[in-house]
Structure 1
Amino acid sequence: MYWYKPLQKYILFTGGLLLLSIGYACKPEIKETGATLKYFDLKEFFKTDSIRLAKLAPSIKKTVTHNGESETKTVKIANWGQEFGLFTSSDINKPAWKDSYAVQENADSLVYTAKFPELKTRELVIRKVNGQVSRVYILNKVHNLLYNSTEKLIYEPGKYYLIEKDQKVKVMGENDYLIKGEFN
């Protein structure tokens, strides 16, 4: 049939694009390629701490606040990796970002500051006491024509974690969220 040849080219082109996208999606993370990480390994830190907390299974006094209305419960977190999801998604060790952050190293802290306004993670501060991470602070910002969001994330191992998020969506309005988990 006369329509078969153009359809065949379309199928081959689409199949080629699909194979390329699968190959890109299966690309190993920077750690698996043997390359050294330029910045603090946030993903590894939270992965290790998630495993530690899963073994300890601590009770958490968790407070969730949405637009001023709060609810507090004592809970056991079943999946710490998921609980720390916003923290790990703020990792700055992507190959494309290798020169995108200014690094300030102090005696007790590492401070990473975004050089470009389009980067979501604006600031990452790692405080250490005796070589151990004592506090992680992350500031994320996204601003565009339809949506503005600011996230402040704080984690002090063994003490608490805090997620504070302000969203402004043009059509839907403003929402404020606060999640605080205190270790008992």
Structure 2
Amino acid sequence: MGENKNQFTFEEIFKQNERRIHFHINRLNIQDSNQDFYREGIFALWNAYETYKPDKGPMATYFNYNIRNRLIDMIRKDNRRNEVQETFIIENIADFNDGNYIRSSDSSTSITNVSDTVLENQEMWQQLKAQLTENQWKWVYYHIIDGMTLKDIAFQENKTLEAVKSWGKQVRKKLRDNEFRKVIDWKV
């Protein structure tokens, strides 16, 4: 290994270079509440100390390179783990809650079918549908009656999320208008 090992102990190197670890953590905008990245930085510093060869370049540059790249590798690893978890949750959410039951750790409760309850007054919905644009009615039907998320509606209709939100804003604006409610004969 290098001559520097005989000149300095790792403790001395650590005391002189600890700020490098903090610098790279801050520079990479890492939130390190559990000190995991700090510990990884110490390990990278130790590894660089152990493998440093003086004829290959300045020690400070080698330390910076090792610490920074080790922290970036850790960020990538965390991001991959989070992506895998999110994918798992999305793929298995239907298995956990199929729409007919609310499940908790100790019980399972049946959910009333919203569309059966909401659609009891067909005439009311027909009056509303006649006064709305096609897209506004899609928002009412899919979001209010069917309970779909705005994201799902946007995907299904091949529209942007903002477009679907706009449909909902237009419907809510109409429903707040007393004259409109008289036209559709709502006594709400």
TM over 0.5: no
The structure with the larger Rg is 2
Q: Which has the higher strand share?
A: 1
Higher relative contact order (CA 8 A, sep 6+): 1
Structure (1/2) with the larger helix percentage: 2
Q: If the length of structure 2 is used for normalisation, what is the TM-score?
A: 0.25
